[in-house]
Structure 1
Amino acid sequence: MAERLQGRVAVVTGAANGIGRGCARMFAQEGAHVIGVDRDGADEACDLLDEAATGALFRRIGAAHGRIDILVNAAAFAVFEWIEAMRYADWKATLAGELDIVFLATRAAWPFLKASGSASVINFASANARHALEGSPALAHCAGKGGVRAMTRQLAMEGAPHGIRANSIAPGFIRTAATDRHLAADPAFRDKVLAKNMIQRLGEPEDIAWCALWLASTEARYVTGADIPVDAGATAW
């Protein structure tokens, strides 16, 4: 099944770290022409919460390639805090970093996704959109990822007449530089995560990238509006 994305143009946001980097690497290995986007450390540096800069970025990509076949919205930002300590500014920043960042990139890419005729948009919800995790002060994150899940269903409906599929992946706890820092600060949190998991290990970015690869490929041509949990079974019981 090598080169499952041969000749496809893929834009991956949040490509410098974590899940975004895992997706970008796997897509490139499978033959896609990948344009990685992040604040720094990627092919294109962009503040994806800057409307004008995001629009200009996607116009450049569209002008260079004529179309975008795959959009992976992996870039995200969240503040984790309990409700009594959550500042309104941090709440708003998290909703922008979870929702606005997906909206702005997808809206900017939309004309070029339409030009593909068979495009795939892949967003990231979360297990936190389905359940609460003891010990995790994820109030704003839960709200933002629940919004991504709902937004994706609407994008699937709007995109269907244009050959655009839109799906979300709902990861469980995935080891990244950010989550490793959280585990180091609270070693007991690992046990709380594993207590939820049927599969007794923590996830890695490639566990998510495999699902994203399938959704990006023609193998998933009949799949749209779905939210796929990749969470070691944490939300299945």
Structure 2
Amino acid sequence: MSSTQGRMADRVAVVTGVGSGIGQGVALRYAAEGAAVVAVDIDLGSAETTAARSAEAGAPFASVLRCDLTDPSDVRRLTGEIDRAHGRVDTLVNAGAIQPHMGPVWEMDYESAFRPTIVGEVDLVFLLCQAAWPLLRASGRGAVINFASVNSFRGSRHMGMVAHTAGKGAILAMSRQLAIEGGPDNIRVNTIAPGLVQTDATKAAGATDGDLASTIVARTLLGRLGVPEDVAQCALWLGSDESSWVTGANVPIDGGVTAA
């Protein structure tokens, strides 16, 4: 599909965490729909692998950039490069995150577990939103997508996740405030709250098989775990002009877990 066709045609889309999982799924979908995708990951090798996959499908990315999204100076460097290349950001998808530390409150060390989880789930979203804000304003139709979670709304009886729930709850609240602040400049900010999606990270946490996965599947209304493509379809709508009157919203993509 050429850059003049598709639901994301003529949009500059910055997607973080493209090396795997949801970020990868969104970047591939955006490129297939005509976006100029600026693909970002801390692991440049994995990002380039995703870029090669997209190019083989006939939808090359605009660029592939490495960035440590927890480093303010590196984030400013990243947005400077994007500014010089494109002069604007039409869609920003903050899919990148650091694997959260799991555990109950009485076992969680503040310095080595709780604080790194908050930095890896909240701080990096704030830093890129802040640095990219002038470029979103320059677009005149900026769209930001952040990732909350079903755990923004409910805890877990099966896994200690006090830091993770705090982080994802913060993303939900922060995004609503960003939507308020972005309204005068036609910058829309929305969240997607996925349920358990099968990614390398969730597999590494042991959440996609065994008793835990069976328990979660049983709680869904649709009887299966999610895949990145499920989330990418929603991100396509929220990141395009099709959702031009949608801001401050949260969309649960969870197989019905939060409805039951």
TM-score interval, normalised by the smaller of the two chains = over 0.9
Q: Distance in 2 between matches of 1:171 and 1:127?
A: 6
Aligned equivalent of 1:87: 109
Aligned equivalent of 2:52: none
Instruction: Give per-residue Cα distances to partners, 1:63-99, cap 9 Å, x unaligned.
Output: 1101000000001121111222211021000011111
Q: Distance in 2 between matches of 1:200 and 1:185?
A: 13
Alpha-carbon deviation of 1:15?
Answer: 1.0
Aligned equivalent of 1:71: 92
Return the letter of the residue paired with 1:74. A
1:163 matched to 2:186? The reply is yes
Instruction: Pick the aligned partner of 2:7 from 1, 4, 28.
Output: 4
Alpha-carbon deviation of 1:186?
Answer: 6.4
Aligned equivalent of 1:118: 141
Alignment of 1:5-154 (within 5 A): 5-40=8-43, 41-42=46-47, 43-77=64-98, 78-89=100-111, 90-154=113-177
Q: Distance in 1 between matches of 2:35 and 2:208?
A: 38
Instruction: Give per-residue Cα distances to partners, 1:4-35, cap 9 Å, x unaligned.
Output: 00111000011111000000000000000001
Q: Distance in 1 between matches of 2:128 and 2:69?
A: 7
SS at match of 1:169: strand
Instruction: Give per-residue Cα distances to partners, 1:77-123, cap 9 Å, x unaligned.
Output: 21111222211021000011111010001101000000000010000
Q: Distance in 1 between matches of 2:186 and 2:244?
A: 10
Q: Distance in 2 between matches of 1:181 and 1:155?
A: 32
Return the letter of the residue paired with 2:109. R
Instruction: Pick the aligned partner of 2:221 from 177, 182, 198.
Output: 198
Alpha-carbon deviation of 1:175?
Answer: 0.1
Instruction: Give per-residue Cα distances to partners, 1:48-73, cap 9 Å, x unaligned.
Output: 00000101110110111010000000
Structure 1: unaligned runs, 5 residues or longer: none
Q: Distance in 1 between matches of 2:197 and 2:119?
A: 22
SS at match of 1:128: helix
Return the letter of the residue paired with 1:213. L
Return the letter of the residue paired with 1:16. G
Q: Distance in 2 between matches of 1:57 and 1:225?
A: 26
SS at match of 1:56: helix
Structure 2: unaligned runs, 5 residues or longer: 48-63
Aligned equivalent of 2:210: 187
TM-score normalised by structure 1 residue count? 0.96
Q: Distance in 2 between matches of 1:21 and 1:79?
A: 22
C-alpha contact (below 8 Å) 1:134/1:192 kept by paired residues = no
Instruction: Give per-residue Cα distances to partners, 1:139-179, cap 9 Å, x unaligned.
Output: 10100000000010011011011110000000000000121
Aligned equivalent of 2:243: 220
Runs of 4+ in 1 over 6 A off after TM superposition: none
TM-score normalised by structure 2 residue count? 0.88
RMSD: 1.3
